[in-house]
Amino acid sequence: MATTYLSVVHLATAGLNGPLLGSDEEEIVLICLVVVNIQTNQVVTVQDYWVKPRSADINENVLSEQAREEMGLSEELIRTKGNSLEQVLSQVDSFLQKVSAEVEQKTASQAANVVIVTDGQLPLRQCLLPETCSKGIADPPAIFGHFYDLRKEFRKGFPNAPEINSIQDMMNCKLQFFSFLFFFYSNL
């Protein structure tokens, strides 16, 4: 099966995000997918799915200060545009199946699939899977069962790189590496 699209998955919770994502066990409020055609290296679409936490009907303030300030989320947005996590996961699954089907139609000669990519394991292993278990969502989309951890893959390519905590760290590391190569080859 040919991989034609990468779907970069980003999650935000009502609580801590960034390197502490999921550590406070707050509910997911945003699932963002960026679908990239790897043959053309172009972004095909960006899909934002707002998730309304179960506590939104009880509590006046659902979002942490960090979620409001750093992520640009608002209580009103989550309450008015958000759906249950179960509904959102169904929408995400349908969307990714649709993308795969469209690719297969365009490239009639080969099967295609969408591969999930995350920045670290926190979005899926620390947030999505535990929350689906705690809410009794029996079947999260199977596509989330297999994913590529961008940090892990980067470490394979750059085993001697310093500690990587963000995509920006990866970019800086690669820039330093390519600057070194340029300097090295220009002085031969």
Q: Could you tell me if 186 and 116 lie in one domain?
A: no
What domain range includes position 133?
Answer: 2-157
Does one domain contain both 94 and 176? no
Low-confidence ranges of the chain (pLDDT < 70): 1-3, 56-59, 103-104, 106-112, 174-188
Residues 143 and 168 in one domain: no
Exposed, middle or buried, 53 (CB in 10 Å: 0-12/13-18/19+)?
A: buried
pLDDT at 188 (0 to 100):
44
Task: For residues 105 and 172, state if they share a domain.
Answer: no
Closest to 35 measured CA to CA, from 45, 27, 25: 45
47, 75 in Cβ contact below 8 A? Answer: no
- Same-domain pairing of 7 and 35: yes
Is residue 42 within 8 A of residue 10, CB to CB? The reply is: no
Q: Are 73 and 67 in contact (CB under 8 A)?
A: yes
Where residue 23 sits, what CATH number does that domain have? Answer: 3.30.420.10
pTM: 0.82
Question: Do 106 and 170 fall into the same domain?
Answer: no
> Would you state the pLDDT for residue 34?
92
Q: What six digits make up the tokens of 181?
A: 């190569």
Same domain, 108 and 37: yes
Length of the chain counted residue by residue: 188
Specify the pLDDT at position 58. 61
Same domain assignment for residues 40 and 73: yes
Considering the domain architecture, whether residues 37 and 57 belong to the same structural domain is answered as yes
Per-residue pLDDT of 50-77, as tens digits, reads: 999 887 666 677 888 888 888 888 888 8
Q: Are residues 78 and 115 in the same domain?
A: yes
Q: Within this chain, do residues 136 and 173 fall inside the same structural domain, yes or no?
A: no
Total number of domains constituting the chain: 2
